[in-house]
Amino acid sequence: MYKILEKQVLSDVVKLMVIEAPHIAQRAKAGQFTIVRIDEQGERIPLTIADYDSKAGTITIIFQEVGQSTMHLGTLNVGDSIASFAGPLGHPTEIENFGTVICTGGGVGIAPIYPIARALKQAGNKVISIIAARNKDLLFWEDKMRAVSDEIHVCTDDGSHGRKGVVTDPLKEILESKKENIAKIWAIGPAIMMKFVSLTTKPFNVPTIVSLNTIMIDGTGMCGGCRVLLDEGAKFVCVDGPEFDGHKVDWSSLMSRLSYYRDEEKAALEHWKEHKCKLDKAIAEGGR
């Protein structure tokens, strides 16, 4: 069991947790992920590492409540524990001094882009960050991103904070201005965002790294459920990734695979809500 040491509500649907996990924290690096299983009945879900502290033996995760597992996780509090927590999984981000780099994070993707931007900054890069969310409430860690960036652009879809627009707007302008030579670009966020970032950067021939978050079970190369089609054939996100060359990813098959279990996810969520409702009622009555 792994104890939740800290919980922050970053928005209605985005939560942060610091979890005690020395076995992951000791070796964790930017770009890696974990597998979380909440309890005996729970599924195994991949969550990227938003931060780590090897001295304290803790891992920070940030997640958006989109389905049963993440909603359930969101109901847990400091002092509660999760049943399983494995990692660090996947290859770490390749960090060196590339020159000037752009780090784009969309929505909950701001969480995993942060340790990457920080490591790139520490390695001597000039870091230009672009972070975006649907609206002001869904945006978080602007201050932390600002602290590790030489230049930062903030967008919201509805214009409620920063510039009205999507990440590709400032990205395209920077690339078109040709003011400086961009060595490499990272993009983490929803598949659709990473697809459009890759499409935007392709004509400029700037290497673009995306971090994929596909459906997984074990996260160690055993099930193959996470496989993604690249130009050179199928790869496993868990052991070959999670970072890939965005220009080589077959986005349509990726997005189709991501949505394959949508009906089941809905059924699991409804079942859980019903169960939770009964449980809450029983607890309330018991308390009386």
Q: What residues line the site for other proteins (CB under 8 A)?
A: 23-24, 26-27, 35, 37, 41-44, 68-69, 83-89, 217-218, 220-225, 227-229, 233-234, 239, 250, 252-253, 256-257, 260-261, 264-265, 267-268, 271-272
Distance CA(163)–CA(158), nearest Å, equals: 9
Q: How big is the chain, counted in residues?
A: 288
CB 185 within 8 A of CB 209: yes
**In the complex, least distance from residue 242 CB atom to other proteins, rounded to whole angstroms:** 13
Distance in Å, CB of 25 to other proteins, minimum: 10
Cα–Cα distance between 152 and 136 in angstroms, integer?
Answer: 16
| Residue (183 or 269) nearer to other proteins, CB | 269
CB of 267 to other proteins, least distance (A): 6
Owner of token pair 């990457």: 116
Q: How far is the CB of 60 from other proteins (least distance, A)?
A: 17
Residue with tokens 């169960």: 275
Q: Which two tokens stand for residue 101?
A: 């780099």
Rounded CA separation 118/136 (Å): 23
Residue 111: strand, helix, or coil: helix
In this complex, which beta carbon is closest to other proteins, that of residue 54 or of residue 135?
54
User: In terms of CB distance, is 153 or 257 closer to other proteins?
Assistant: 257
CB of 72 to other proteins, least distance (A): 8
Q: Which is nearer to other proteins, 97 or 252 (CB)?
A: 252
Question: Coil, strand or helix: which one is 280?
Answer: helix
Residue 47 near residue 34 (C-beta atoms within 8 A): yes
CB nearer to other proteins: give 103 or 215: 215
Torsion of the alpha carbons at 214, 218, 223 and 227, rounded to the nearest 10 = 20
Q: Shortest approach of other proteins to residue 69 CB, angstroms?
A: 6
| Residue whose CB is less far from other proteins, 84 or 100 | 84
